Amino acid sequence: MTRTPLRPLARILQARLKGDNPDAIERENLRLRHEEMRDRAMGRAKFRLGLLAVSFVLAFTAIGGRMGLMASQTPVEPKSEIGAVTIQAQRADIVDRQGLTLATNMLTHSLYVQTADLVDPPRVARELSILFPELKEEDLLRRFTDGRSFLWVRKVLSPEQLQAVHEIGDPGLLFGPREMRLYPNGTLAAHILGGASFGNEGVDSAELIGVAGIEKALDARLRDPALADQPLELSIDLTLQATMEEVLAAGMTMMHARGAAGILMNVQSGEILAMASLPTFDPNDRPSPIVAKGAEPADSPLFNRAVQGVYELGSTFKIFAAAQAMELGLVTPDTQINTAALSVGKKRFTEYDGHNYGPTKTVAEVIEVSSNIGTGHIALMIGGERQQQFLSLMGLLDASPVELVEAPGAKPLRPGRWPDVVTVTASFGHGISSSPLNLAAAYASIGNGGIKVTPTLLKRTAPMKGIRVLRHDVALEAVKMLRRVVVSGTATLADVPGYEVAGKTGTADKPRPGGGYYDDKVINTFASVFPASNPQYVLVVTMDEPEGSSGGDVRRTAGWTAVPVAAEIIKRVGPLMGLRPMVEQSPDNAVTAVKN
Amino acid sequence: MRFFIYVMAFVGLLGLGSWAYSENYAMRAKVSEVSDLQREIGLLRDALSTQKAEWAYLNRPDRLRELVNLNYERLGLMPMEPAQLGFAAAVAFPRVPLATGLPDTLDLTKSVDVQGDLKPGKLGDVEESVP
């Protein structure tokens, strides 16, 4: 920019010649310069104001446009935030203690109909009724055309059925994906697993809920999304369970029994390794829970005899009287007990089948021959109150705490009052009912040296803590008595070589529904611990109305029915559990025999 | 100098703008890739659970038992017996009092009859042994 001087020499000289004031020239030039500067400043200010206005307009347009866009769109979650892997399994698997699958989920499809989209309802109804025989053509057609817009046709479809429905090719037939509970082993451990069914159903998915057994008892755990990928580990061993069910079923057929139950439990941890109840059912397709009129609840295959079957367990209770009397210091195994006669008030007690065991027997012999009179005398020495306390402490008078939804409902039946007559009958397991599982837990307490056992169906990782119910030496003596029962008493058929089975039989007449007892219907129980020298497992076998036969006679005592079945189970499951048989040494001579 | 700074800032702005633009699209591509992978994981998971269920179904004890019975001729499988297990310490030492009346040669291809009369003796006694 050329700067015009305020006093240009040429004009000054001219002005001086004319006699003008040269300062006027300077002022004029200064004025011109100031005007120019003013114009420039005004232009810049105008430009800045304009720029500011434009940027405000742009900014407001941008914000306003964005607001308009946001208001007109439906909000969508930013996609990158769906980072976590979506969990497919909505219900945790159930596995056995070795990790083998007992229950799992499988993707399947349900079939539903949008009636508005149906092209040819009569044809669809006809084709569906051919595919699924349980659907009636006229019913389907009525439901398609009675004005409803949506209806479920089937809850689950197999892949083949899905394809077949696809091939009908009607746009109104639609499939909803969903997970189905699957029990791949069929009837195996059915009473433990229970079953599952659909809860709230939607088109895209359906809720799976447990309806019985451990599926219902631990429903919250199985549905917990945080634990969905960690399977629930049961204490059950699939192989042992299968073996027990096989042997029990064979035994039930052979003995013409109405039902049977078996429980195999670890005496230290209370873990149930196998628990079977026959007859059984398929949890994939649970039968209706309604039983025929006049039938016993136990006739339903859904009835879990091992847990819900509250029976009089008979002479298996005798060992509790003997153990308690030893615990209290009232008797030793060698104390002589009156086995000739026992009356309480007007009631005279007799032995089973009118046996007579002579005037006296030792406590060990009373158990060995299963003398009602002898046990009654021992119980009277203990007294009703202490007996009641002890049986309660052993868990025989309360519902089992096991993780099955059926368990809390199966409360043992006990008499309201506890006079001496009850004391005597309870000592040999009559007039008082408990479940085979409670009996197994009580025998486990004897087997493990006197610690109370809480039965469980879950795999235990930590050692079990329980209160002491018997002194260690008393528990050892009790097991020795039980061993004598097998070696030379009422359960000789249970003597599996090498496994030193120790147990007690029990036979109880079945109660009539109207009161009193049947003469020819019994419940046979055999409760055992093995091996006797270091008990590790307890096995309880119960048979409902069995009829063993020997030499043409019908035998209804446990020794001929439940005992051989239990022996076969022990023979089969012992090797599977890695239990090595003891070599039973026969005493070489009289000196060692006496020493033993 | 000022001009140079303006130019550099402008070029920088352009550069950053195009970087942000490309990052945006790269991110979108990754997001869709992740969702594809997740769908694939879901499908594989479904397949896995189906196969697990099938494996469990094929190995169910009922079926295995039937297979064992069907193939008994070939496999000869029997339930395990207690006698097949034991402690090494429980294996008896060979009895020293040998039986007399055994055959001189034993044909090991057939069953061997080992009945005989026992002779009394003590552990450690040296007697003639069966050839």
- pLDDT at res. A324: 93
Put simply, whether B46 touches A (Cβ < 8 Å) is yes
Q: Is B86 on the interface with A (CB under 8 A)?
A: yes
CB neighbour burial string for A423-433, b if at least 16 within 10 angstroms, e if fewer: bbbbbbbbbbb
CB contacts of A104 in chain B (<8 Å) are 49, 52-53, 56
Q: Is the pLDDT reported for residue B39 higher than 80?
A: yes
Buried b / exposed e along A174-189 (16+ C-beta atoms within 10 A): bbbebbbbbbbbbbbb
Q: Is the pLDDT of residue B71 over 50?
A: yes
Q: Determine the pLDDT at residue A502.
A: 93
Is B63 a residue whose pLDDT tops 90? yes
Of A83, A100, A184, the CB nearest to B53: A184
Mean pLDDT (chain A) is: 86
Predicted ipTM? Answer: 0.72
pLDDT given at position A262? 95
Per-residue pLDDT, B22: 95
pLDDT attached to residue B88: 80
Distances (CA, A) of A428 to A213, A312, A371, A420, A507: 31, 10, 9, 13, 10
CB contact (8 A) between residue B82 and residue A583 = no
Contact check, Cβ <8 Å, B85/A580: yes
For residue A239, the model assigns a pLDDT of 92
Query: Kind and range of the H or E element at A274?
Result: strand A272-278
Cβ distance of B61 and A242 shorter than 8 Å: yes
Mean pLDDT of A349-375: 85
Q: What is the pLDDT of residue A341?
A: 82
Under an 8 A CB cutoff, do B38 and A86 touch?
Answer: yes
Q: In the structure encoding, which two tokens stand for residue A45, read together?
A: 């200010």
- Terminal-to-terminal C-alpha distance of chain B: 116
pLDDT in the model for residue A591? 45
Per this entry, what is the length of chain A?
596
pLDDT in tens, B14-27: 999 999 999 999 99
pLDDT at A81 over 50: no
A543-553: average pLDDT? 79
Average pLDDT estimate for A60-82:
79
> DSSP string of A324-375?
HHHHTTS--TT-EEE-S-EEETTEEE--GGG----SEEEHHHHHHHT-HHHH
A576 touches chain B (CB under 8 A): yes
In degrees to the nearest 10, what's the CA dihedral of A364, A368, A373, A374?
A: 0
Cα-based torsion angle of the residue sequence A308, A311, A315, A320 in order, rounded to the nearest 10 degrees: 50
For residues A586 and A8, what is the distance between their CA atoms, to the nearest angstrom? Answer: 148
Residue A449 in this model has a pLDDT that exceeds 80: yes
The residue-averaged pLDDT of A217-228 equals 88
Q: Could you say which of B32, B38, B82 has the minimum Cβ distance to residue A575?
A: B82
Contacts of B73 (CB under 8 A, 6+ apart): none
Whole-angstrom CA distances from A512 to A55, A92, A501, A506 are 99, 44, 34, 19
pLDDT of residue A11: 87
Looking at per-residue confidence, does A589 or A78 come out higher? A78
Q: What is the pLDDT of residue A589?
A: 46
**To the nearest whole angstrom, how far is the Cα of B107 from the nearest Cα of chain A?**
30
pLDDT band (50, 70, 90) for residue B96? low
Closest by Cα among A476, A573, A569, A559 to A522: A559
pLDDT, mean of residues A177-187: 88
Residue B118 has pLDDT above 60, yes or no: no
A205 burial level (CB within 10 Å; 0-12, 13-18, 19+): middle
- Given pLDDT bands bounded at 50, 70 and 90, which one contains residue B33? very high
B24 interfaces chain A, CB cutoff of 8 Å = no
Cα–Cα distance for residue pair A573/A536, rounded to 1 Å: 13
pLDDT band at A294 (very low <50, low <70, confident <90, very high): low
Confirm if A314 and A558 have CB atoms less than 8 A apart.
yes
Yes or no, beta carbons of B31 and A80 under 8 Å apart: yes
| pLDDT band with cut points at 50, 70 and 90 for residue A312 | confident
Residues of chain B contacting A579 with CB distance shorter than 8 Å? 82, 85
Is pLDDT of A277 > 90? yes
Q: Identify the pLDDT of residue A325.
A: 92
- Per cent of chain B over pLDDT 90 is 39
**Unique residue bearing structure tokens 């000739």:** A340
Tell which wins on pLDDT, A185 or A346.
Answer: A185
CB of A178 closer than 8 Å to CB of A95? no
Distance CA A291, CA A219 (A): 26
B79 contact A CB<8A: yes
Of A219, A171, A221, the C-alpha closest to A195 is A219
- Distances in Å between the alpha carbon of A59 and those of A51, A53, A54, A269, B109? 12, 10, 8, 75, 104
- Is the CB of B59 inside 8 Å of chain A's CB atoms? yes
Burial A288-316 (b: 16+ CB within 10 A, else e): eeeeeeeeeebebbbbbbbbbbbbbbbbb
More confident residue, B122 or A219: A219
- Cβ–Cβ contact B35 with A under 8 A: yes
* pLDDT in the model for residue A296: 72
What's the DSSP call for residue A86? P
Cross-chain residue pair A499–B86, CB shorter than 8 Å:
no
The residue whose two tokens read 């061997």 is B112
A556-576, pLDDT tens digit by residue? 888 888 999 999 999 999 999
Task: Find chain A residues with C-beta within 8 A of B41's C-beta.
Answer: 85
What is the DSSP secondary-structure string of A246-266?
Answer: HHHHHHHHHTT-SEEEEEEEE
CA distance A231 to chain B (A): 12
Return the percentage of chain A with pLDDT > 90, whole number.
35
First to last CA, chain A: 132
Which pLDDT score is estimated for A411? 87
Query: Which residue type sits at A471?
Result: R
% of chain A with per-residue pLDDT over 70: 94
Higher-pLDDT residue of A431 and A584 is A431
> What is the structure's pLDDT at A592?
41
DSSP secondary structure letters along B53-73? HHHHHHT-HHHHHHHHHHTHH
What are A95's strand-pairing partners? A101, A233
- State the pLDDT at residue A201: 77
Selection from B93, B118, B78, B80 nearest residue A498 by Cα: B80
Span A359-382, mean pLDDT? 89
As a whole number of angstroms, the distance between CA A423 and CA B92 comes to 51
Q: Does residue B121 surpass a pLDDT of 80?
A: no
Q: Say how far apart CA A213 and CA A437 lie, in whole Å.
A: 15
Of A86, A101, A572, the CB nearest to B52: A101
Task: Check CB contact under 8 Å for A497 and B49.
Answer: no
- Most confident of the ranges A128-132, A246-250, A415-419: A246-250
Taking the C-alpha atoms of residue A479 and residue A319, their distance in angstroms, rounded to an integer, is 9
Nearest-Cα distance to chain B for A83, in Å, is: 8
A329: its two tokens: 């210091």
Q: What value does the mean pLDDT take over residues A286-290? A: 80
